[in-house]
Structure 1
């Protein structure tokens, strides 16, 4: 369990790297970001469909018929999608990383004014940014808890995604406040909510949830990851790409890398 928590923490801290790039006024190449985000999306999609969903069905099948187990896990899968969709709707577009990745410098006067007003009441920003990354922490924990090899692969994908997300969080804060320290720390705080999500997942595993119900959580985690990969990572990759097929090639490379790693770990 400690390993799963550490993996979630390290993945979350990758947002600090993005925040640091903003305050140091350094930029990653758009081609690199496009391929990296698509790589992370491909990895998360393959893990979700080939590892996490089947794992959830296996857990539920221990106490239900196979048909019932599949129905319950798929229902949880779509519930996970709905949860992340609701969270995403709570974020103002000018502060939502999934909306601004790839065009961080495009904030207009209206957005800047609104962000200044929001940032003065920092609790709102802390809440919505925290909710945005909370599901990723739960997903990383649940996956690492059952299979550390798969969990590390997922954590790497999340960390790759979190670097440009840190940029996307820090850029509007820096533009709105002119404060490098606030921009860096908001980026860091947005990532630190991932280990908080992992702690909640650990509490559910340890104290509240019978093992037979864990399959439902794995189904929900798979739904969260699929939505994040399709709605956020791939969308951001398309906005960053400078040539046709960069997103597709990156996604296929992510899938192939994870598939290879799973085969190698299974053979070991």
Structure 2
């Protein structure tokens, strides 16, 4: 077992810096609007959910078989769709007549406030920093154990996972500034 601390640090650093690749997408935004913000956040969330499900589904297929795993997957989708339909949403309860004007009678804008968007981006950044700490530990540990292929594999998986995280953090903060 050959421990190479330098190589482990390099892989961990590269995997962590891949969040910046997702953040670079914000540099290409020409016109800021809420639909573009929503689209990018939806894409980043979708990619993260897809990666999580494919990893979990692969393990489930190995454990219980292809048919049972796929049935459970699609039953889960139906259950969450039913929950979304049955649980009332707070935005549906608000009356449009009560909330269209401020105290001075001026028409309110329907867009979220910039401070709320910025605060959301900062909270996402804090959550991702906490989330990335164990990723760094596992990437470093896998690379430092001497199994180069395992270290590289985990570093690539973490790097691919971190790109949509960079989008999720940078776009709301850019949009709010």
The normalised TM-score by structure 2 is 0.49
Q: Which has the higher helix share?
A: 1
Higher-Rg structure is 2
Q: Which has the higher contact order (CA 8 A, sep 6+)?
A: 2
The normalised TM-score by structure 1 is 0.34
